[in-house]
A and B are shown apart, each in its own frame.
Chain A
Amino acid sequence: MRITRALLVVAVLLHLLLVALFIWTGFAEDWPGKLPGALRVYKNLSGTFRDYAFFAPAVASDLKAGFLVTDTAGEETFVNFVAKNREVGFRYNCIIAACMRDVRGRDLFAQSWAALPLGSNPDANRVTVMVKTLDLPSMRDYRAGKRPEWKTVYVGEFGRL
């Protein structure tokens, strides 16, 4: 019984130590080998796959995306990448932010987004993905009359093969 308890204490301490190391040091993140691989699996299974730096160190600018869908007749329809449900909207924003953060992978992700309107609309021939970022003035600038502005940060056009 005593040994079981001791083992449990050791396991718990090891778990918390790993949690702290994963978060604060990027422990085993890019290490090659089987043991670091196993540690990364543990990191994922125990829910330590993200750091806990919510809205820190800085609050990033808001992003929004939309699709300009052109059909075979040349007619254009604009579809906003937004959800009516707030909870789902947060997730859409996470997708937009994560994909745009990866500068090298932007085209690949945007192509993946474009596949959805192309796949769900048989008449759609071409999709232009547009992403804008909100340029938010500081409190001082806002007092001076400056207002938030959406600025285009990405445009990509994708069509059927």
Chain B
Amino acid sequence: MKCHSPIARFARRASALIERFIADGADPYALGFFRIAVSVVAIIQVFILWPYLLQLYGNFGFIQWALIETETDTWLPSVGKLAILLQPYRVSSSACVQGVFVFYALSLLGLLVGWKTRLFAISSWLAHTLAVNSGYISLYGVDTMIHICLFYCAWMPVGHCFSLDQNYRQGPVSPSFFAGISMRTLQLHLCIIYFSTGLAKVKGLQWWTGDALWRAFMQPQFSVFDLSWLAWAPWLAQIGCWLVMLIEVGYPFLIWPAKSRPIWVIATIALHLGIGMIMGLWMFSIMMIVMTFSAFGLRLILNRMSYGQLRTVQISEGPRTTTFSAFYAVSRASGPEISAVHMML
């Protein structure tokens, strides 16, 4: 017996919407881009840190391993533990640190070109895990983000396009449920990240008065330009703070609707470009831009270019209507009939 009460109708609609949100397939282009961009940023970081590795991660660096090794009830892989394992083979702690980073860089190269992608993604992630657990006192936001991204690269289908693996397979780049759920995971995780940081700022008085930006810009470690003139335009610092809070707290709500998505993607990217330019936090900013652009931005551009779009085809199966996604590589000339609604959900 069918129930036609408004509550039942709402429940059915909500459940269909959730099912579509989770279960719709997606093409792997954004994940391919994500893999390449994350690898490039991580490789650049290795190059920058290479001369300082022993200071930052070594046993005789600024923080000796004995001080930061984890408690015995939580087993976490670290360079320190690996060094103990390799001690019988006369591998020094310094060689161990450098070896881990060489292994990390080579794994990242494999991940970048997409050769044996899964294997190199897992090895990159594990090598990064070893490194962060031996130098976590020196870590900052970019390391957290790289670790999250490598964790996702380890299990998401990031090698299904723009990769040597795909080139060897020679099959078509096709949408999949796995790519779809992976993209949703990345998107939802980003929402948690931005909402969390936004909420933390909302709780702080400095972010309402404008002092937060003033204090950040005036710190010698972040100072790129002389912004002391802000003291004579406190309203500007205040508006800046409010905008930051608006972008971050609004992210999980306004990044989804089709109309506000482009605005929020551009605003978020502009926010990070600003952080990079004014505070010199370029690695962190680029990493955040990569994440938002992969999760939400690239699809907007692909849709606009009418390239590699997903068309939603509704096929009736008796009383039930199922939504299937079919992949079309269409040129701009194919006209406006292609629906972008599918990915805009």
Contact = CB atoms under 8 A, between A and B. Distances in A.
A98 B136 CA distance: 10
A56 B140 contact: no
B151 A45 contact: yes
Interface string B199-214: 0110111110011101
Interface stretch (B69-77, B83-91, B99-107, B334-342): B69-77
B238 to A, nearest CB: 9
A86 B27 CA distance: 38
Interface in B20-59: 22-23, 45, 48-49, 52, 55-56
Interface in A87-114: 87-95, 98-99, 105, 108-109, 112-113
A47 B267 CA distance: 26
Interface string B217-254: 01111000000101110100100000000000000000
B283 interface: yes
A112 B64 contact: yes
Given A19-B189, A94-B139, A53 B197 contact: yes
B177 A58 contact: no
Interface of chain B, main secondary structure: helix
A40 interface: yes
A134 interface: yes
A79 to B, nearest CB: 12
B35 to A, nearest CB: 16
Nearest to B45: A87
A88 B220 contact: no
A86 B280 contact: yes
Contacts of B188: 16
Contact of A49 (B73, B132, B185): B132
B203 A56 contact: yes
A71 B79 CA distance: 33
Interface stretch (B141-149, B162-170, B324-332): B141-149
Contacts of A95: 62-63, 137-138
A90 B196 contact: no
A20 B52 CA distance: 34
B338 to A, nearest CB: 26
A41 B140 contact: no
A41 B76 contact: yes
B196 A53 contact: yes
A56 B204 contact: yes
A136 B228 CA distance: 11
A116 B45 contact: no
A41 B204 contact: no
Contact of A142 (B48, B181, B231): B231
Interface in A72-96: 83, 85-95
B136 A56 contact: no
B207 A12 contact: no
Contacts of A49: 132, 136, 144, 147
Contacts of A40: 74
A153 interface: no
Given A37-B73, A98-B137, A116-B55, A57 B204 contact: yes
A60 B12 CA distance: 49
A115 B60 contact: yes
A54 B147 CA distance: 16
B113 interface: no
B198 to A, nearest CB: 8
Contacts of A37: 73-75
A138 B139 contact: no
B148 A46 contact: yes
Contacts of B151: 45-47
Nearest to A102: B137
A138 B281 CA distance: 23
A119 interface: yes
Given A9-B22, A58-B212, A115-B60, 13 more contacts: A40-B74, A52-B192, A53-B201, A54-B141, A56-B197, A56-B207, A57-B207, A94-B137, A112-B63, A116-B55, A138-B211, A139-B231, A143-B231
Interface of B: 22-23, 45, 48-49, 52, 55-56, 60-64, 67, 73-76, 129, 132-133, 136-141, 144-145, 147-151, 177-178, 181, 184-185, 188-189, 192-194, 196-197, 200-201, 203-207, 210-212, 214-216, 218-221, 228, 230-232, 234, 237, 280-283
7 contacts: A23-B196, A57-B204, A59-B216, A62-B219, A64-B220, A109-B67, A138-B211
Nearest first, the 10 closest Cβ-Cβ pairs linking A and B are A57-B204, A47-B147, A56-B200, A53-B200, A47-B148, A62-B219, A142-B231, A59-B215, A91-B138, A56-B201
